Chain A
Amino acid sequence: MQSNKCYYRTTKKGTVLKVVNEIYLRDDIPCGHDSCKECRMKLERRTTVEDRALLSNDINTIEDNKILILDTNVILHQIDLLEDPAIKNCIILSTVLEEVKSQNRAIFNRIRDVIKDSSRKFYVYSNEYSTFTSITRESGETPNDRNDRAIRIATQWYKSHLHKYSIKILLITNDKDNLKKAKSLGLDCQTIQDLVFELSDKNPSLVDKLSDPNDDSNEQDNDESKRFQYQEHKPMSMLTDELKNGKLIQGIFRTSITNYREATVSNRDMEKDILIQGIENINRAVDGDIVAVELFDQSKWNTPSTIIMLENDGVEQDDDSIAKDSLISKKQPTGKVVGIIKRNWKPYCGAVEFKQDISSTKTSTGLHFLYFMPIDKRIPKIRIKSRQVSNLIGKRIVVAIDQWDKNSKYPSGHFVKDLGPLGDKETESQVLLLQFDIPHHPFGAAIMKCLPPPDIMDRVSSADMVGRKDLRKECIFSVDPPGCTDIDDALHIKDLGKGIMEVGVHIADVSHFVQEGSAMDEEAANRSTSVYLVDRRIDMLPGELSGNLCSLMSNVDRFAFSCIWKINHQTGEILAVEYTKSIIRSCASLTYEQAQIKIDDKSQQDQISVNLRNLNALAKVLRKQRFDRGALYLASPQVKFKTEELGGDPSDVEIYQLRETNAMIEEFMLLANIWVAKKIYKHFPGCAMLRRHPTPKKSSFDLLTKLVENKGYKFSTTTSKELAESLDACVDKDDAYFNTLCRIMTTRCMSPAQYFSSGSLPYEDFNHYGLATDIYTHFTSPIRRYPDIIVHRLLASAIGIQSVSLNLENKTISNLTENNNFRHKMAQYAGRGSTQLHTLIFFKGRKSVEEAYVIRVKANAFVVLVPRYGFEGTVYVSDPNGNTGSTTNVYNYNHEDQTLSNGIHTFRVFDKVTVEIYVDDSKAHDQKLKINCINPNISFVPSDDVDSNNLDDILNQENNTNKSSSSSSSSSNKSTKVRKQTSENIKTTNKKLKK
């Protein structure tokens, strides 16, 4: 309020407008240095005690007598370096922050995180609002120059301000002009490179993190630069013009999974994706970038290549339907990339390509040039520099791309993080988490502060009991898998006489502890779900909540959200329903097995056993009704690893066993979810968080129908009920697994269920196909799923115990569902990836012969499912390299019937084969599972030449659109001689890969 100068600025907005905003310049902004008393006194005079308490909470002060002031370009280019804890005591000017924010939002968020970390001593000085350092743009000065000048003036002020404390102020900038001007003002300044080399004695790893956009590395690739000359990218201004008048097309660049020299660009307005072939046309675009594409003449349009590279067929995603194969594509629009609109470079996981001759890669500065191979095969190799080659070899590392010059074949990047030794279980699990973008860092201090005191349940206050029913007298128990620590549901049942039962489902009241808008809430919303890997669990909420305060353990008081029905136990008719918050005391935590024993053992007549039997009987009634409505029973090849000691390597694999009690609990959870969905939709028709499972398109079942009918069964998919009946009828007396197989394959024809906000879809689209219900949501697992927490809040508002939140809008809920769906998918992928990893570890040093089923036939391979271990693998019938093998290996692929035959053997879907499984460890850093078919015996042994990694398979699932287009391409020729056709293309690809 003190300095009341104001100035004006004009901005342009389509039509030229003069926008005038006031700026209040203040003289009470502290400089942020600990020893500066002046600033603190000034601030104390101007603010009240409360204000100061607020301020001091999150403001770091700087202690050191050497302060760095960072320029914008330093933050933009060297964010990885700045995240290293060795860099401390920095001042970030608000000018710089604004510039970073407008140029790169992601980096802005990262630097904000660094600033938040109090140990790092980063301080934000709002120089634009300070009377001492604020400047106005002069006429003829570009905004950039103005900002540079603002930085210099702020530095100057700091220098004179802290002069008496003999503190050195160092301006770090890589802008030559700025550097020069600052020097002429008598300021101390340095480039970031100089600074890092100064620090590198203590922290040698810093140098590797340095991104070096200006460095010329001509000495390295003189010869290469002559050979690879990419076309220059068009400047942005030209691109926008040409995009506007339709000469160019903008779209997201997606590299093909099967072939890195081929890519597609999808544009919303175009029916078909644009095909980009060859690295010259790809022109330095990397998967995920937004690019501008120039189309070729129609005469030059092409079909996607029909190669199927080795190892690209892995475990398929559920919704990647087999039926998509039937889409036959013709010539596609083809073009080339002429400019990059927005890069989507992320840090990539991978390993360094090891060359024998280390010294040859050494440069005059003592750095080594190395090539980095990302796990994601769609990303090109990245050239990095390092001083510590020996530390990098045999390690999983993270690398970020800095730039890609037009005369370098590969992009150049810098080292970010070391994850650990290759092939190590711990490391590879880390890689999985990074790969699928799963937040797994430990919970921060701000989040832990949100936790209630651990003894809160012993001192329940009356405020906690508002709107809460005391159900501690009821006989409530929980049934969960063994070893479960996050118990989020419990049940009770009571006979009310006259054939009416009272059934209660009690769900942990997580929303009571996770206040909306708190740090913990934000973190949970971001994590969205707990992730279950084979050997670990990444919690959504801190362990104190998930494993204790919220967990409905036996014999302790716990808060719950209850759903209580009065049900006619013969007809299953719901007579009344009540939703209430409650306090409960569970009297037993049972495992599924224990509960099953209690039900089966008729001699047990205690109350829990009797109640369990009643519940079970009622569940059967309800389940029958549900299946009568057309609910589907689906299957997945789920397995469980047995480990000898905790955290050890898997020693055995067993099929996950499902008992009657599993189904019983599931039934009541479904009931609760459906009834809660109805309630919240009634009260919040525009913004209820619901879950839907869309009815699959009829065409998606076409192929499966045909295959099943070939086996001699009727298969009708018109309604879910008919489908359920058809599935029930698919029983082969000799082969018990056939039915399960049919169910697994049916699952894959359908798209996965999704969260959505009720305001964004018409009511007809709410239905859940698999469960055959009109409306559905997730209410029953708030400890491990975020949508459930939202649903809890909605329900609490609906029954009037919680005030309606401000954020209840269709838009906010829709945004949440988007994140939830994404995280849910990623969690599934990571879970599967973890299973694959453990399967690999399990098979290390083992060779196993197993029965398997053909579930899919490809042009040069077929995919088998091994029920015993629940994994899928590809068996190749011909060598994709085409340069070895005998002529008898010519297989005819028939797309119509999905068969593969060489005259002697014919492979069909659903065929049972015997396979041999072993780990191919011919390359120590690149182990993978190999499957060979031994009955019928095919004498083909895949060549070792092709680089690949077991973990690719997971990645492949990520982009099913690509997959379907590539697989459909293979089907364009109905019957092809695979070997001949693919050999040529693959030869070239292989050469590239070997490089």
Chain B
Amino acid sequence: MSKLSYISPEGLRIDGRRANELRRINVEMGVFNRADGSAYYEQGNTKIIAAVYGPREISVSGKGVFDRAIVKCEFSTSSFSTTERKPQQKTKGDRVTTEIANLVKQAFESTIQTHLYPRSQINIYLQVLQSDGGLKAAAINASTLALIDAGISMKDFVCACSTSCIDGIAVLDLNNIEERSGGPDCLLSIQPQLGGVISLNMDSKVPQDLFESVLELGEKGCKKIFLILSDYVKRYSSNLISNQIKN
């Protein structure tokens, strides 16, 4: 009985959101000068930085593909990102980080127009500054912005959002507490303009009849994120242009 009630009968979640609401999203592009492209992405208390290098020469010779570029991704969590500090060596190369890195790599291999960059590689580096749930989605969204900043041609944005169902109610964008509710963790990433689904990952089980509504909610969430991102990208690029004109 000591179970937390994740959604009150009044329809509010622990942090005061309704079931279908996202957390606040703040983004910034071009945060680093040395990287080809970079972005800072903040969703609630989850804060993540992405840096993109490339397209450039293949670092390990022989690994390259003659007709397209390869995407590499490295994901790491800073030791100060969670409430309890973790020792440095554990934050890289464990199962969770490898999984997220692979997820990002796969998502972008299919979205970047890789045939434009034969025999080259594109590196995406992700660093979590603060973690409060929804890391996978944040990693993908941050990478999208960084790749755009690097000027790499893509077919579309990739927007991702996590959904779940708690006590039979479909819930959008889980925070850290809600992720521990034992409900399923469903990650949906889509190409919002082309309408394709890039990936759909799910931990744990969802009843069949609820799955539809979970998916639908996830799609809505992704589209909302897309609006925020594209709005920012437009503003950022018009800023760039006006700056160049001035110069």
Contacts and interface: CB of A to CB of B under 8 A. Distances in A.
Interface size class of chain A, counting residues whose CB lies under 8 Å from the partner chain: 20 to 34
Interface string A10-28: 0000000111111111100
Interface in A16-42: 17-26, 29
Interface residues of B, number: 29
B15 A21 contact: yes
Interface stretch (A54-62, A70-78, A534-542, A908-916): A54-62
Interface in A555-609: none
A4 B24 contact: yes
Interface stretch (B6-14, B105-113, B235-243): B6-14
A8 to B, nearest CB: 9
Interface string A444-484: 00000000000000000000000000000000000000000
Contact of A94 (B8, B21, B206, B208): B8
Given A4-B24, A806-B207, A18 B83 contact: yes
A24 B168 contact: no
A112 B9 CA distance: 9
Tell me the dominant secondary structure on chain A's binding face: loop
A51 B8 CA distance: 15
Contacts of A105: 1
Nearest to B21: A1
A4 B228 CA distance: 15
Interface in B169-195: 175, 177
A160 interface: no
A58 B10 CA distance: 8
A59 B23 contact: no
Interface in A86-100: 94
B17 interface: yes
A803 B208 contact: yes
A29 B18 CA distance: 11
Contact of A24 (B10, B17, B205): B17
Contacts of A129: 12, 16
B16 A1 contact: no
Interface string A638-674: 0000000000000000000000000000000000000
B23 to A, nearest CB: 7
A19 B23 CA distance: 18
Contact of B22 (A1, A18, A94, A804): A1
A4 B8 CA distance: 20
B177 A21 contact: yes
A19 B83 contact: yes
Given A17-B84, A806-B207, A517 B17 contact: no
A73 to B, nearest CB: 22
Contacts of B23: 22, 24
Interface string A406-444: 000000000000000000000000000000000000000
Nearest to B11: A55
Contacts of B168: 517
A18 B130 CA distance: 13
A468 to B, nearest CB: 19
Nearest to A124: B10
A24 B15 contact: yes
A250 interface: no
Contact of A51 (B10, B15, B18): B18
A804 B14 CA distance: 29
Contacts of B175: 21-22
Interface string B37-77: 00000001100000000000000000000000000000000
B19 to A, nearest CB: 9
A306 interface: no
B230 interface: no
A805 B168 CA distance: 12
Interface of B: 1, 8-12, 14-18, 20-24, 44-45, 83-84, 132, 168, 175, 177, 205-209
Given A6-B45, A126-B16, 15 more contacts: A4-B24, A17-B84, A20-B83, A21-B14, A24-B16, A24-B17, A25-B16, A26-B16, A94-B8, A115-B9, A126-B8, A126-B10, A128-B16, A803-B207, A806-B207
28 contacts: A1-B24, A4-B24, A6-B24, A6-B45, A19-B83, A22-B15, A22-B45, A24-B16, A24-B21, A24-B23, A25-B16, A26-B16, A51-B18, A51-B20, A54-B11, A58-B9, A94-B10, A105-B1, A126-B10, A126-B16, A128-B16, A129-B12, A129-B16, A517-B168, A803-B209, A804-B205, A806-B205, A806-B206
In the A-B complex, the 9 residue pairs with the closest CB atoms: A129-B16, A24-B16, A4-B24, A803-B208, A1-B21, A22-B15, A17-B83, A23-B16, A24-B17
